[in-house]
Chains A and B, each alone.
Chain A
Amino acid sequence: MELIERTATELIKLQAEGATAEKITSDFLASIKSRDDKIKAFMFVDESDALAQARAVDAKRKKGEKIGVLAGVPIAIKDVLCTKGQPTTCSSKMLQNFRPPYDAHVITKLREADAVLIGKTNMDEFAMGSSTENSAYQTTRNPWDLERIPGGSSGGSAAAVAACESAFSLGSDTGGSIRQPASLCGIVGLKPTYGRVSRYGLIAFASSLDQIGPFTHDLADCALLMEVIAGHDPRDSTSIDHPVPAYTKSLNQPIKPLTIGVAKEYFGEGLDPEVEKSVRDALKVYESQGATIKEISLPHSKYAVAVYYIVATAEASSNLARYEGMHYGHRTKTKSGLIQTYSKTRAEGFGKEVQRRIMLGTYALSSGYKDAYYVKALKVRRLIKNDFDAAFAAGCDVVMGPTAPTAAFKMGEKTDNPLSMYLSDIYTISCNLAGIAGISIPCGFTKSGLPIGLQIQAAPFEEEKLLRVGRMYESATDWHTKRAKV
């Protein structure tokens, strides 16, 4: 097996046995060089900086100094996370030349853990989209089929791992933007509980929904990365001061007894039969391990997409008001008064989907419509959360179902119809609205070789349970060992 196909956990072990961080990083850089013309996962790679980080790790190790838990492992970063002095574009023209003066909290954590930050990845502009086709710069391809999209909005981070251009990566998830691309790219993607990971330095889309989380080949790597990025940070007032469990230590302990809630609403119209079969087969694996399957109902699931496109756009319209060309980012060349400068700057700097969402959110918050749209959506959001609370109170340890209704779709298939694109997040959105934890793990392939994901959701701060439950399935299957032929 080539180095680039290894997991982060394996790469750490190989270094303890004599491999160098420099060799590992060089191999991944070579992979990016040879593959990324096709995949287009990366927005920015600084080879000499990556190699310098790797050599610093090797030097520390040689001198016998204490090294971090992710030492010498290359990690790719979604371009929504601020990296000091390096381009951070959000894949938008608006931030084309933006170089943040500080690191995001998770970036500081990665540096402290001696990870090698290998580059910034492509995304839907401002994390708005489900296919990464809304990037202002390039369209990322699915490593399993280059004619198809990798999912979104964290498509670059998912594709970078699936194409072995990085050992693991970070993304952000507002309505499924980690889990859906993980599912479509055949890897593991976790959206932590709201408040579990600090959002300091995460460029905001919808602040009551956004969370940062890992993309990895397997659950051991996911547990490892979560141990590094989770935890309290006083710079994010919504970050919760709650102990971070040693996820890697308990990972291989199965949950027994295990009750799995299966909501009938996740198996309705629009679900591809091949996806349904893989998910049902996964449930059988759990049954064979002694789990109890409990039929449940999440009756307000069908309203989740409608609620989301009001709540998320309302928050976005407010968050994105900061891009007016005064302090940083694009400013129009047209000389005019202040208000016209704002309006021209924003019309030039934002792409169509971002404009559409700002418009929708502005409308939903505007005088005369706020109660009918925004407040109404917030009430239904409560009902969606109550559905999950009831399921967990009734004894479900986790709720399982498909991550996405279909495998990866073709490029351009949904770009003319925003609503059909929105509906590809139908199973992932409720998790963000309720603020609970969710993960997607690989659970098979379609006949044409496209990956399928199983979504597992748990109550707030139950990431440890999610990982252990996921690991039960992973230990009985080998989907996570498959690598795309690029």
Chain B
Amino acid sequence: MAMDLETVRKVANLARLDLSDADLAVMASQLSAILDYVDLLTELNTDGVEPMAHPLPVQNVFRADELAPSLPVDQALANAPSRLGDFFGVPAVLETEREEA
């Protein structure tokens, strides 16, 4: 199935990828080729087949409700691109005028 430029632009937005128009055009043609190949699956009748999301019968695994040490703050923040005290520094979530620290 061919993927048009508008669909590719919409998907890039959903995927949070800021791609240039040139990148989007290349992506459209490459993804279209892959989707054409994937269309192979439509020749199979899969009515009544249970979808298999996982190779194992998945069940929730609970652990005992016991306290255990968690990552110390300094270690948790060691890789942070921006640190503000004991917090991760991030751009303003509500998109106000306030600048990122």
Contact = CB atoms under 8 A, between A and B. Distances in A.
A44 interface: no
Nearest to A335: B100
Given A238-B58, A376-B41, A208 B53 contact: yes
A325 interface: yes
A380 interface: yes
A340 B18 contact: yes
A419 interface: yes
B78 A99 contact: yes
A10 to B, nearest CB: 36
B52 A338 contact: no
Given A303-B44, A307-B41, A385-B52, A366 B81 contact: no
B49 A360 contact: no
B79 A98 contact: yes
Contacts, number: 157
A378 B51 contact: yes
Interface of B: 3, 7-8, 11-19, 23, 27, 30-31, 33-35, 37-38, 40-42, 44, 46, 49-56, 58, 60-61, 63, 71, 75-76, 78-82, 88, 90-93, 95, 99-100
A332 to B, nearest CB: 9
Contacts of A339: 16
Interface in A76-127: 97-99, 101-102
A359 B27 contact: yes
Contacts of B17: 343, 346-347, 350, 355, 358-359
A376 B91 CA distance: 39
Contacts of A419: 33-34, 37
A208 B55 contact: yes
Contacts of A434: 55
Contacts of A381: 51-52
Contacts of B80: 327-328
A373 interface: yes
Contact of A195 (B53, B56, B75, B78): B56
B15 A358 contact: yes
B52 A326 contact: no
A379 interface: yes
A310 interface: yes
Contacts of B41: 303, 306-307, 376-377, 380
Contacts of B71: 101-102
A329 interface: yes
B81 A325 contact: yes
Contact of A326 (B7, B40, B75, B88): B88
A379 B37 contact: no
Nearest to B54: A208
Contacts of B91: 335-338, 341
Closest 5 CB pairs of A and B: A435-B55, A328-B79, A378-B51, A331-B81, A343-B18
